[in-house]
């Protein structure tokens, strides 16, 4: 055999005889998989980045809003706590520009907006004195929100303002003692307030009421622009890195995997097209591909051995096939035998059912017939007592039918019919018990009922004929618990063994010149221990030699003439007891002294068995 390395083979050796179909290269598939993976990673990264930027954007907008709103709040507190009390010390006149919180803060922010016009400060109310502070739809919702949730001290959100998106921060204004002077009852308000705003709006508030809100609208255009530019930088950077990674991964994959796979593919193609030239792959890598190359080389060695020893292997394989065919033949025959037994069970069940219907009618009417007969006999007795001198014709007919005999025999006759009916009923019951051959499940079974029903089926073979006398059945039943088994299969085992015993006894009777030979079958049952019961079936036939006894459980082995036995009865019985019921079966036999089959069955199965 010639060995060559891949590198030493000429190019034309690897030319395929048939042009292969176009397929998607592994490199392309791997590259697509990497791209999809990186796209997924990029998508997750972009999503997380957008969330991070959104949080940063909101935080920056909130910081700006807090700064401006605190400035407005500080101005308002200054008017309340410093400016207004100082003016009250020097004059009783109400100076709106110095003592009105809302008025003063609004004027301060007008000056503030001259420098930063993009910031909008508002102190809206639902029912303000100054109509300029009337809350719009959004501001009304914010005030209502603070009124429903008095424990919340601020609220944020966004508002569309023209083409720009504004961020707002709102805080509630709670009615304080200093505010009641102007916003309490109208009659207590300063004259200057009444003259300027009237008595309709902005009055009758209570201490602690949420009457308004401080709200600042902050521009976000510069933040959005910054966010967009940063996002674009990250995306383009990520795309660039992805392209570089895909290129590097592709080149690395091609070097470490692609070319080595091509080498393996070429070697396999050569081995397929030219079996006479076995190729070896030179790949000393310790990874999966190196291991695959090593396995291929070992496979090539095995192929060489198979090629050189083909005839021997064909012979071995032929023997294995013949053995398999024999096993299939045995299995097929066993299945046929099992089907025959199942058909027998169905036939017996049908016969038992058909007999049971008229039997029920007969047994049900015998009792009534017996009562009617007693009534009629009683009536005749009364006639004889009250009319002792019967008419001559009646007297003559009574003598003709022998009325006295009928009077004595009729009850016995009806009783005999009743006994016969009960006997038939018992036979039908045994037939029905035997017909459970098609029940595949394991369940508790009375073994004695199975034995009795089997003997009923074989009753005709126990009777005497011109060639042999009656076969005596001796039963020695012990106290047995219910045994978990397949009733139909165990009945099949009992029938096979008892049938063989009957055949042995009939053969012994035909060949035995002694007229005093009495054929017997002894059936004993005992409980061995807490786990097993035993059934012994013995006959006083001619027995078996050791050679015959060693082969009786082999398939197709039989001592009967052609056409009288298949040689499968005991083989099937062995499989049922040992393989399907986890029990044991053995045979003890001695020439001229008879044979005993011992069957041991577990009381409970360790696991359920599936019958074929």
On the question of pLDDT at 575 being above 80, the answer is yes
Give, for 428, the enclosing helix (H) or strand (E).
helix 403-434
The fold of the 439-602 domain, in CATH, is Heat Shock Protein 90 (3.30.565)
On the question of pLDDT at 599 being above 90, the answer is yes
Instruction: Give the pLDDT band (50/70/90) at residue 258.
Output: low
Structure confidence at residue 7 (pLDDT): 44
Name which residue leads in pLDDT, 493 or 557. Answer: 493
Instruction: Give the pLDDT band (50/70/90) at residue 10.
Output: very low
On the question of pLDDT at 374 being above 90, the answer is no
Structure confidence at residue 13 (pLDDT): 39
Residue 405 phi/psi, 5° resolution? -65, -45
Structure confidence at residue 8 (pLDDT): 45
End-to-end C-alpha distance for the chain, whole angstroms: 50
On the question of pLDDT at 565 being above 70, the answer is no
Share above pLDDT 70 across residues of the chain, in percent, rounded to a whole number: 74
Cross-strand pairs, 596: 538, 588
Mean residue pLDDT across the chain: 76
Structure confidence at residue 336 (pLDDT): 66
On the question of pLDDT at 596 being above 80, the answer is yes
**In this structure, what token pair is assigned to residue 94?**
């109400």
**In this structure, what token pair is assigned to residue 180?**
């009641």
Cβ(430)–Cβ(453) under 8 Å? yes
Beta strand 277-280 with 2-5 is: parallel
pLDDT (tens digit per residue) in 84-138: 777 777 777 777 666 666 677 777 777 777 777 777 878 888 888 877 788 888 8
Instruction: Tell me the C-alpha to C-alpha distance, in Å, between residue 165 and each of 26, 135, 169, 500.
Output: 51, 19, 14, 103
Sequence-distant (6+) residues with CB within 8 A of 231 are 49, 50, 53
Cβ(71)–Cβ(111) under 8 Å? no
Taking the C-alpha atoms of residue 485 and residue 214, their distance in angstroms, rounded to an integer, is: 89
- pLDDT (average), residues 193-203: 78
Beta strand 594-602 with 532-539 is: antiparallel
Instruction: Give the pLDDT band (50/70/90) at residue 287.
Output: low
Name which residue leads in pLDDT, 414 or 579. Answer: 579
Structure confidence at residue 18 (pLDDT): 42
- pLDDT (average), residues 159-174: 82
Structure confidence at residue 535 (pLDDT): 93
Cβ(101)–Cβ(119) under 8 Å? no
Structure confidence at residue 23 (pLDDT): 61
Structure confidence at residue 1 (pLDDT): 42
On the question of pLDDT at 74 being above 60, the answer is yes
Instruction: Give the pLDDT band (50/70/90) at residue 284.
Output: low
pLDDT (tens digit per residue) in 12-35: 333 443 444 546 666 677 777 777
Q: What's the full length of the chain, in residues?
A: 612
CA angle 341, 345, 350 (to 5 degrees): 145
Cβ(6)–Cβ(279) under 8 Å? yes
**In this structure, what token pair is assigned to residue 374?**
């007693």
On the question of pLDDT at 505 being above 70, the answer is yes
On the question of pLDDT at 357 being above 60, the answer is yes
Taking the C-alpha atoms of residue 152 and residue 211, their distance in angstroms, rounded to an integer, is: 15
**Mean pLDDT comparison of 344-348, 449-453, 566-570, highest-scoring range:** 449-453
On the question of pLDDT at 164 being above 50, the answer is yes
Q: Which of 7-16, 115-124, 354-363, 429-438 has the lowest mean pLDDT?
A: 7-16
Taking the C-alpha atoms of residue 538 and residue 476, their distance in angstroms, rounded to an integer, is: 12
Residue closest to 403 by CA, chosen among 419, 384, 426: 384
Taking the C-alpha atoms of residue 230 and residue 222, their distance in angstroms, rounded to an integer, is: 12
- pLDDT (average), residues 480-491: 87
Structure confidence at residue 522 (pLDDT): 93
Name which residue leads in pLDDT, 548 or 53. Answer: 548
**In this structure, what token pair is assigned to residue 206?**
């209570």
**Is the full-model pTM beyond 0.85?**
no
Residue closest to 476 by CA, chosen among 434, 528, 526: 526
- pLDDT (average), residues 521-546: 90
- What DSSP character marks residue 607? S
**In this structure, what token pair is assigned to residue 533?**
């019961």
């Amino acid at each position: 055999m010639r060995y060559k390395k891949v590198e030493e083979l000429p190019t034309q050796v690897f030319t395929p005889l048939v042009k292969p179909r176009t397929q998607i290269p592994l490199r392309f598939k791997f590259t697509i998989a990497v791209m999809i993976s990186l796209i997924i990673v990029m998508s997750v990264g972009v999503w997380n980045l957008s969330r991070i930027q959104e949080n940063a954007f909101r935080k920056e907008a909130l910081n700006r809003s807090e700064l401006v709103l605190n400035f407005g709040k500080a101005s308002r507190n200054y008017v309340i706590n410093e400016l207004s009390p100082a003016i009250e010390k020097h004059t009783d006149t109400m100076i709106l520009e110095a003592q009105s919180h809302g008025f003063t803060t609004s004027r301060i922010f007008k000056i503030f907006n001259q420098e930063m016009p993009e910031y909008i400060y508002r102190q809206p109310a639902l029912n303000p004195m100054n109509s300029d502070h009337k809350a719009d739809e959004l501001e009304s919702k914010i005030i209502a929100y603070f009124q429903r949730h008095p424990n919340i001290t601020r609220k944020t959100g966004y508002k569309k303002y023209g083409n720009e998106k504004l961020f707002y921060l709102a805080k509630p204004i709670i009615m304080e003692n200093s505010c009641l002077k102007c916003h309490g009852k109208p009659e207590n308000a300063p004259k200057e307030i009444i003259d300027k705003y009237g008595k309709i709006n902005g009055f009758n508030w209570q201490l602690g009421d949420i009457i308004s809100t401080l709200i600042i609208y902050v521009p976000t255009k510069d933040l959005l622009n910054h966010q967009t530019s940063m996002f674009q930088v990250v995306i383009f950077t990520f795309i660039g890195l992805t392209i570089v990674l895909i290129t590097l991964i592709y080149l690395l994959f091609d070097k470490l995997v692609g070319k080595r796979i091509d080498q393996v593919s070429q070697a396999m193609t050569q081995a397929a097209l030219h079996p006479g030239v076995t190729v070896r792959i030179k790949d000393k890598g310790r990874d999966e591909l190196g291991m695959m190359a090593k396995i291929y080389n070992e496979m090539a060695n095995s192929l060489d051995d198979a090629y050189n020893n083909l005839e021997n292997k064909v012979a071995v394989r032929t023997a294995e096939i013949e053995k398999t065919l024999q096993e299939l033949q045995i299995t097929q025959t066993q299945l046929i035998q099992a089907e025959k037994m199942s058909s027998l069970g169905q036939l017996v069940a049908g016969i038992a059912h058909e007999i049971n219907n008229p039997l029920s009618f007969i047994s049900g009417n015998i009792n009534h017939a017996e009562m009617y007969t007693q009534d009629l006999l009683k009536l005749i007795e009364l006639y004889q007592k009250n009319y002792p001198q019967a008419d001559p014709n009646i007297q003559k007919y009574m003598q003709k039918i022998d009325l006295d005999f009928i009077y004595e025999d009729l009850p016995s006759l009806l009783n005999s019919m009743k006994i016969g009916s009960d006997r038939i009923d018992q036979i039908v019951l045994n037939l029905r018990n035997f017909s459970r051959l098609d029940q595949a499940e394991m369940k508790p079974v009375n073994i004695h009922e199975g034995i009795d029903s089997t003997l009923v089926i074989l009753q005709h073979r126990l009777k005497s004929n011109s060639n042999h006398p009656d076969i005596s059945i001796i039963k020695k039943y012990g106290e047995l618990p219910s045994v978990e088994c397949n009733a139909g299969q165990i009945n099949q085992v009992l029938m096979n063994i008892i049938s063989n015993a009957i055949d042995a006894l009939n053969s012994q009777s035909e060949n035995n010149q002694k007229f005093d030979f009495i054929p017997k079958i002894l059936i004993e049952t005992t409980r061995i221990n807490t786990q097993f019961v035993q059934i012994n079936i013995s006959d006083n036939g001619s027995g078996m030699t050791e050679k015959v006894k060693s082969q009786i459980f082999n398939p197709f082995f039989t001592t009967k003439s052609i056409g009288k036995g298949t040689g499968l009865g005991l083989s099937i019985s062995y499989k049922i007891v040992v393989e399907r019921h986890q029990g044991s079966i053995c045979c003890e036999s001695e020439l001229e002294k008879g044979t005993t089959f011992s069957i041991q069955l577990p009381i409970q199965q360790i696991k359920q068995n599936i019958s074929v």
